């Protein structure tokens, strides 16, 4: 049976069938026109008329290739082709009538017969194809084997989603209902499927035995998506998402593009509004340097900068393979069509190498994203942490001033606020230095500070995903630990906006929304994967890691904020320090690297940043010694 179903009807057979339909329709049209009593005089003209009409139809069918479509996959486009082809043929036949009238004083084919034949032929040809399609779909995937699907959204995207499921021969899904927020659509039907109001979603899920819920609303708000997903998960059904129209292949939705909702979909917020003209004015035709360009933040900064058409984009990183991958991504992307990039392998701690970069390219704007960021790793390696996060930042900042870059934008972290670990303290020291540099030359020094970004290398979400895929327990340090989250794209967009508005000396902080409990995040990811906590997978609490906080902060206690023209960006009012003081302290700190004495390094850091109090760390005892 499968082999029979998979065979396509020969084009010649389809063509012959369509011609025969026109021939039968023409005969019926005559019967209808003359009330089933066709005069002998008309019957005598049949050979000429029928030959002419069938000839015209045959020629138009061949020209428009109506026989080439696969009948069992008949689409709206195929139906439209048939309609236009028939219309073209009827137009040719109609044009022949005035010519015939001039010669014989009689119309070759009465106009009423032309219209009736056209309507009958189109109806039979389209209906026949749809019947074959329906029969094929039912034989291929019997209804009893199909999974009930509820589509949220009865608009164009919802209709396209239904048709995609209908025509995909590999699916075992059957759309049983639509849900829509527009109450005017309630009670109506879309291609025979009933539309229900959004208030009925739970009732429909239970009544129709729904197993899959597909969100097919374009530009849906995060709050609405959260509600839909939460509703679906509470009834233990799979929730899927239709991608934006712009990502459809050649304007058509593919079944494989309908994917599961992922946790990033639920943690995102409303689309950020940017002052694109100002950003473009800042970046267009400028030489831009991005340090740490191959990292999670750096690479997204590069992607965000590309559309603003810089004169040259310098990609600086020490990681060879990731930098090579980024270069290929840019050059192979037809949508960007941007080739003015300069990938550079280099260590920001190597002053001579960095000087050569600045001397060669003289960047107008520097986005400094290079940093060591993993808290437990830096807690074990304080000497390397200060060398990269403090000395590396100092070198790039000093060269920006020396070569008169117009702006230097450093990407910092919320861990720099009341730091409890080595990494956070190094970033706070870097912030202090950058702020103290402002006003010493032509360069405007700006700092941006935000929390965790979704999907960055080594962050919690990729780790959870890997643990779920391998069936391992999800590991969380503490049941009550919370974090602020923002997508990488959101964070980088706000960095660009802040960099544009910055006048120098500011520490910009971003609206990170509400903190998220990591345990709740893990439970939701388990649900989205179709697993059940306690049955299919476990959560293990391992205890806080060295230097780890339960709750992150965006502002220190003595700090407050000033608003900006952008509602998601604020300026932190932070105590500034004299350049001479900070520079001397940093020089003394870096000098301690040679002795490789971690305790001495940490003590010095605590003196530079008095609010640095270690937690869950071997260096906690140093706080007590310093107090005493």
pLDDT single digits (tens) 18-29? 889 888 988 898
Give the active site residue among 146, 225, 394, 415: 415
The last residue of one of the domains, among 86, 120, 139, is 139
Rounded to two decimals, what is the model's pTM? Answer: 0.69
> Of the candidates 261, 291, 321, which is a domain's last residue?
261
Element (H, E) at 563: strand 560-563
Could you tell me the CATH number of the domain that includes residue 153? 3.40.50.720
Residue 72: inside a domain: yes
**Residue 336 confidence (pLDDT) above 60:** yes
Alpha-carbon gap, residue 67 to 324, rounded angstroms: 49
Query: Taking residues 310-327, what's their average pLDDT?
Result: 95
547 in the Ramachandran plot: left (φ > 0), alpha (ψ -120 to 50) or beta? left
CA–CA separation, 208 and 14 (whole Å): 39
What gap in Å lies between CA 540 and CA 617, rounded to an integer? 21
Rounded average pLDDT over 442-470: 83
Alpha-carbon distance of 146 to 174, in angstroms, equals 6
Question: Does a structural domain hold residue 628?
Answer: no
Residue indicated by tokens 């920001």: 348
Do 386 and 238 belong to one domain? no
Per the annotation, the verdict on 246 as an active-site residue is: no
Same domain, 318 and 200: no
Is 570 within a domain? yes
Same domain, 397 and 312: yes
Q: Looking at the structure, do residues 301 and 257 belong to the same domain, yes or no?
A: no
Q: How many domains does the chain have?
A: 3
In this structure, the dihedral spanned by the alpha carbons of residues 403, 584, 387 and 477, taken in order and rounded to 10 degrees, is -120
CA 101 – CA 524 distance, rounded (Å):
77
Mean pLDDT of the chain: 85
Over the stretch 158-202, which tens digit does the pLDDT of each residue have?
888 888 887 765 567 888 999 999 888 998 999 889 999 988 899
Whether residues 438 and 503 share a domain: the answer is yes
Give the phi and the psi of residue 385 in degrees, each rounded to 5: -60, -45
The whole-angstrom separation of Cα 310 and Cα 332 is: 18
Phi, psi of 60 (to 5 degrees): -65, -35
Does residue 188 share a domain with residue 112?
A: no
Residue 1: pLDDT band with limits 50, 70, 90: very low
Q: How do strand 569-573 and strand 507-510 relate by DSSP bridges?
A: antiparallel
Reading the block at residue 451, the tokens are 């929390």
User: In Å, how far from its chain's centre is CA 396?
Assistant: 33
Q: Is 152 part of any domain?
A: yes
What whole-number distance in Å separates Cα of residue 463 and Cα of residue 449? 24
250 and 281 assigned to the same domain:
no
Mean pLDDT check: name the lowest of 165-179, 304-318, 515-529. 165-179
* Token pair listed for 494: 């706000």
Q: Is residue 64 part of a domain?
A: yes
68-82, 296-310, 466-480, range with the lowest pLDDT: 68-82
Q: Are residues 346 and 287 in the same domain?
A: yes
> What letter does residue 271 receive in the DSSP assignment?
P
Would residue 588 count as lying in a domain? Answer: yes
Return the closest-CA partner of residue 538 out of 473, 465, 471: 473
| Distance separating alpha carbons of residues 336 and 363, to the nearest angstrom | 21
Rounded to whole angstroms, how far apart are CA atoms 621 and 420? Answer: 13
410 sits in which H/E element:
strand 407-413
What is the percent of the chain with per-residue pLDDT over 90, rounded to a whole number?
34
Are 151 and 122 part of one and the same domain?
Answer: no
First to last CA, the chain: 87
Both 256 and 286 in one domain: the answer is no
Measured CA angle at 214 (ends 209, 220), to 5 deg: 135
Residues 394 and 501 reside in one and the same domain? yes
pLDDT tens readout for residues 600-613: 999 999 999 999 99
> Where a domain ends, among 139, 163, 180?
139
Q: Same domain, yes or no, for 149 and 119? A: no
Q: In which band, very low, low, confident or very high, does the pLDDT at 140 lie, cut at 50, 70 and 90? A: low
H helix and E strand count, the chain:
24, 22
Any domain includes 463: no
**Whether the predicted pLDDT of 462 surpasses 60:** yes
* Residue 161 lies in domain: 143-261
Domain-embedded: residue 468: no
């Amino acid at each position: 049976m499968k082999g029979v179903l998979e065979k396509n009807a020969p084009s010649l057979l389809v063509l012959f069938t369509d011609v025969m339909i026109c021939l039968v329709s023409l005969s019926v049209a005559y019967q209808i026109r003359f009330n089933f009593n066709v005069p002998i005089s008309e019957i005598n003209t049949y050979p000429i008329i029928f030959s002419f009409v069938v000839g015209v139809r045959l020629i138009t069918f061949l020209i428009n290739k109506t026989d080439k479509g696969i009948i069992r996959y008949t689409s709206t486009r195929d139906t439209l082709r048939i309609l236009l082809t028939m219309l073209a043929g009827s137009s040719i036949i109609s044009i022949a009538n005035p010519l015939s009238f001039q010669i014989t004083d009689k119309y070759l084919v009465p106009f009423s017969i032309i219209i009736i034949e056209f309507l009958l032929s189109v109806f039979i040809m389209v209906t026949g194809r749809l019947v074959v399609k329906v029969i094929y779909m039912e034989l291929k995937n019997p209804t009893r084997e199909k999974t009930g699907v509820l589509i949220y959204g009865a608009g164009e995207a919802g209709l396209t989603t239904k048709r995609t499921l209908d025509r995909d021969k590999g699916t075992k899904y059957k759309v049983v209902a639509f849900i829509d927020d527009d109450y005017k659509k309630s009670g109506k039907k879309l291609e025979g499927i009933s539309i229900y109001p959004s208030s009925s979603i739970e009732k429909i899920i239970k009544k129709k035995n729904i197993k899959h819920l597909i969100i097919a609303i374009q530009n849906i708000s995060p709050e609405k998506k959260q509600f839909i997903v939460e509703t679906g998960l509470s009834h233990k059904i799979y929730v899927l998402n239709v991608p934006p129209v712009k990502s459809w292949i050649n304007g058509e939705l593919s079944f494989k593009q309908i994917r599961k909702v992922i946790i990033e979909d639920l943690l995102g917020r409303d689309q950020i509004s940017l002052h694109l003209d100002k950003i473009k004015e800042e970046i267009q035709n400028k030489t831009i340097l991005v340090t740490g360009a191959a990292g999670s933040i750096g690479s997204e900064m590069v992607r965000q900068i590309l559309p603003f058409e810089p004169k040259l984009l310098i990609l600086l990183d020490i990681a060879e393979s990731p930098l090579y991958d980024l270069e290929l991504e840019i050059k192979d992307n037809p949508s960007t069509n941007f080739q003015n990039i300069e990938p550079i392998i280099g260590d920001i701690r190597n002053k001579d190498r960095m000087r050569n970069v600045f001397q060669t390219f003289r960047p107008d704007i520097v986005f400094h994203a290079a940093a060591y960021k993993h808290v437990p790793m830096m807690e074990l390696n304080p000497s390397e942490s200060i060398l990269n996060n403090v000395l590396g930042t100092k070198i790039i900042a000093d060269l920006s001033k020396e070569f008169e870059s117009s702006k230097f934008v450093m990407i910092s972290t919320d861990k720099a606020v009341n730091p409890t670990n080595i990494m956070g303290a190094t970033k706070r020291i870097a912030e202090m230095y950058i702020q103290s540099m402002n006003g010493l030359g032509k360069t405007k020094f700006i700092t941006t500070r935000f929390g965790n970004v979704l999907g960055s290398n080594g962050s919690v979400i990729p780790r959870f995903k890997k643990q779920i895929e391998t069936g391992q327990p999800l590991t969380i340090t503490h049941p009550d630990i919370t974090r602020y989250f923002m997508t990488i794209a959101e964070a980088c967009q706000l960095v660009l906006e802040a960099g544009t508005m910055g006048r120098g000396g500011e520490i910009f902080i971003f609206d990170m929304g509400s903190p998220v409990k990591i345990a709740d995040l893990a439970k939701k990811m388990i649900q989205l994967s179709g697993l059940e906590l306690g049955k299919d997978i476990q959560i293990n609490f391992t205890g806080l890691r060295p230097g780890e906080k339960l709750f992150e902060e965006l502002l220190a206690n003595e700090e407050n904020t000033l608003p900006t023209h952008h509602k998601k960006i604020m300026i932190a009012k932070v105590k500034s320090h004299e350049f001479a003081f900070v520079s001397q302290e940093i020089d003394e700190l870096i000098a301690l690297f040679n002795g490789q004495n971690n305790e001495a390094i940490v003590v010095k850091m605590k003196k530079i940043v008095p609010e640095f109090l270690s937690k869950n760390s071997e260096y906690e005892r140093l706080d007590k010694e310093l107090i005493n």
